[in-house]
Structure 1
């Protein structure tokens, strides 16, 4: 029986989604046939290989694309599908794409599931012209082999074409990655308030998380994505950070938080407006996500040149502590950054990267005494 990772069998339309549906734009949730459960006509199939550009309902496919059923074998490996019974596999230079009605100028985030099927280094190119990013999927963060990824873009017109492309050139085209559960979400970047200089400091605004997803969503490094799926924040590291929700993880405050899953290679940052010579207090919560990430966790927080290390002894069962960094601004722009000191593995499978969570970040000026 496969474990449900980035998946949902039904997406309910919220009030916002209903409005989107009325004005003809795409609503938050799965794209048309985003979980690939609507199968190609058997006459457009040769074994697992899809024949014809329009064979998969809702999608345009190019190149060597396979339609994979859960439980199908590849050599000695059993292929697992995270959502429903079907997924697609992209061979060398193959792609799937879909056109969407969007609101010009608005930011959107694409969430999708991907899995490697061979030992070779694999990547995926995600494009909504003129934006494009190459997401490495070599590092696997879940024990099941499937991970959720988020990638953001800004709509240049009222129509956007989402393209997921495998740029690989392997000898065996069947070594391409599996793709499943493709969804979209409109992003509304929050602004600073008189209660917090930082934007989106509780991480409540972010990429789409499927209602039944229990592995969170990976947000790639900034170098792979010009527009962060986490409004207000940049992923300034080589590895991704994980966006988690309170429905499946322990979250200190609100419904969302960030898990720093890649040690010092997993960092988030934001540039805050400050006044030179003024004193500021940065407060934040550090804890564990109740995902068996046990051991000595440490979060390093930076405010310009000032820094603090916050240790947290985790039992892997959820919990948090609060920390404070007080500093005097030396510039009118201060970089606020968080990273994890150590690499940590979950103690229930010893193969999945995990780390401390950060949430409820606040930055305020304080009176000089």
Structure 2
């Protein structure tokens, strides 16, 4: 029972750390001040040196978007050539990881190229681009880890356009809307006996309140810089919630999206002993997002590697699998990689869901759900003794 108390405590800790009040005017619903008199008749209003955007400072070409095809999101900003917006907020309390989630919208039609969006904090930077194959709607949610901060430190969040094709004559400039910052503890408690941290993926980026599409996490080779706590990312994965997708356990899981190259996640099982044998267990399923196909997931644990397959009907499923391996070092590498390119009827990339990842010393105490039958056997065993 202690295992489940720990899981409940972890979920409460994660939910307490989520916050949206770090940024002022994070959804751009507070309109710019000193707008030109004819601004109300235009969907895109160019901001100049006489205009003030509440909560934000800006440089270069910035347009305030007064009408989008996202009725739930409303107003937004477009970052044109050399466009940059920034806001400084203050870290609260103890040192925590600050994770940003934001929505990205393509800025035009019939463009020969799309400009990227550079997102950075004081010691972090990443470039994002809208990719049509990742969403059935005209916008996407992305995440970025701004780093570890605390004790009243100022954090300067900077978003700026970045040209990816200098030879293009027609560029779609990025539109940004609805930013959410979530704080996550630097260290997380592990389930009893599980040598992995965040094996249930309950600690990750925040979900935007009006989003039903999950949150995309682009390639992040570092565990420290990843928005998915203690997991690095290869390619692109989707962080999904139980409110809008099928999640085998808890409130969140990972959907691996393999495109032209494989995608996946990787971590390390701590405190393993070289030469000792361990059991890796996990749940493989689908997200109930009409993803129909033959999933092939390559799993590596220490020096052992094996492919696992699942026939998905796209209606929400989950099957438990396991792999016994021998540790070849003190921190055995654990990875899940999808080689299957699967798409929905809307031609959107989808793929296998990974959840409930556990590593236990073979013969040790496993983290299993208590049942009345097991309790009965336990009581009988104690009575015999």
TM-score tier after normalising by the smaller chain length:
0.7 to 0.9
Rounded Cα–Cα distance in structure 2 between residues aligned with 1:292 and 1:251? 14
> Offset of 1:137 from its aligned partner?
3.3
TM-score by length of 2: 0.80
Structure 1, gaps ≥5 residues long: 1-14, 21-25, 72-79
Structure 2 partner of 1:51: 48
Q: Is residue 247 of structure 2 the alignment partner of residue 251 of structure 1?
A: yes
**Distance in 2 between residues matched to 1:219 and 1:31, nearest whole Å:** 21
1:95 and 2:84 are equivalent in the alignment: yes
Gaps of 5+ in 2: 1-11, 365-385
- Number of the residue aligned with 2:371: none
Partner of 1:134: 127
CA RMSD, Structure 1 to Structure 2 (Å): 2.8
- Name which of structure 1's ranges 221-230 and 329-338 shifts more when overlaid on structure 2: 221-230
TM-score normalised by the chain length of structure 1: 0.83
**Structure 2 CA distance, aligned partners of 1:223 and 1:206?**
16
Range with bigger deviation, 143-152 or 80-89? 80-89
In structure 2, the CA distance between the partners of 1:258 and 1:362, relative to structure 1 (3 Å rule), is same
Q: For the Cα contact (< 8 Å) 1:54–1:61, is it kept in 2?
A: no
Relative to structure 1, the CA distance from residue 326 to residue 216 in structure 2 (aligned partners, 3 Å threshold; closer, same or farther) is same
Looking at structure 2, the residues matched to 19 and 291 of structure 1 have their Cα atoms a distance apart, in angstroms, of 29
Indicate the residue corresponding to 1:313 in structure 2: 311
Larger-Rg structure: 2
Match of 1:352 in 2: 348
Shift of 1:85: 2.1
**Cα 1:258–1:327, aligned 2, differ >3 Å: closer, same or farther?**
same
- Residues matched between the structures, number: 338
Equivalent pair of 1:109/1:207 in contact (CA under 8 Å): yes
Distance 2:76 2:351 in 1: 30
CA contact (8 A) 1:102 1:155 kept: no
The residue correspondences of 1:32-181 to structure 2 (distance < 5 A) are 32-41=24-33, 43=35, 48-52=45-49, 55-71=52-68, 80-81=69-70, 83-103=72-92, 105-117=95-107, 118-138=111-131, 140-156=133-149, 158-168=153-163, 175-181=172-178
CA distance in 1, matches of 2:13, 2:359: 30
Query: Residues 251-283 of structure 1, C-alpha deviation per residue, up to 9 Å, x if partnerless?
Result: 000000000012553110001231111110000
**Aligned partner of residue 135 in structure 2, secondary structure:** coil
Given that residues 140 and 216 in structure 2 are in contact (C-alpha distance below 8 angstroms), is that contact kept between their aligned partners in structure 1? yes
1:100 and 1:240 map into 2 onto residues whose CA distance is 29
